[in-house]
Amino acid sequence: MGSKVLWIIIGVLSIIAGIFALANPLAATLTATLIAGWGFLIVGVLQIVAVFQAEGWGGRIWAGVLAAAFILVGIQLLGNPLEGTISLTVAVGILFMITGIARIIMSFSLQRGGGFWLVLLSGVLAVILSLMIFSNFPQSAAVMLGVMLAVELISNGVAMIVLGSTARK
């Protein structure tokens, strides 16, 4: 099987997963929360390895503090995914607001033809998404992460299909 076909298969599977996530955004939200929890836990364990490789006490102390923080966040998300969903939704809403404002400000430093409108639009959309999250909070927490996961999966699927369709042999 060639790489073109593999990219297309990955794209189709990603789109199907995105459709399932859209069909049940609450389950997708909980899945995203659990994946984040495992991610934090794994990073925390890996950070413990960094404690033993860091030079000097200052580096070891900071690596240990980071390891403990990552592990605690991971355990919290895995142990109580509903609470974790609310926390993650708040974090995503804040992140969207900050990055949106930063993009809007950055767009004005660009020349009008050099991507100004795309960067400005991206920033405005991020701010609107943030406002959507917080205008309906905490109800939005139940589905927002799942919908974002679905959109990402579908977007990724389309990109993989295009990549596979346009790749050279």
User: How far apart are alpha carbons 133 and 139 in whole angstroms?
Assistant: 9
pLDDT at 168: 66
All structural domains of the chain with their residue ranges: 3-161
Q: Give residue 18's identity as a one-letter amino acid code.
A: G
pTM, 2 dp: 0.67
1 pLDDT band, cuts 50/70/90, is: low
Span 139-163, pLDDT tens digits = 878 888 888 888 888 888 888 888 7
Buried b (16+ CB within 10 A) or exposed e, 88-107: bbeebbeebbebbeebbebb
Q: Could you please report the per-residue DSSP string of 42-59?
A: HHHHHHHHHHHH--HHHH
169 pLDDT band, cuts 50/70/90, is: low
Structure tokens at 122: 């991206």
Span 130-142, pLDDT tens digits = 898 888 888 878 8
- Cβ atoms of 16 and 150 within 8 Å: the answer is no
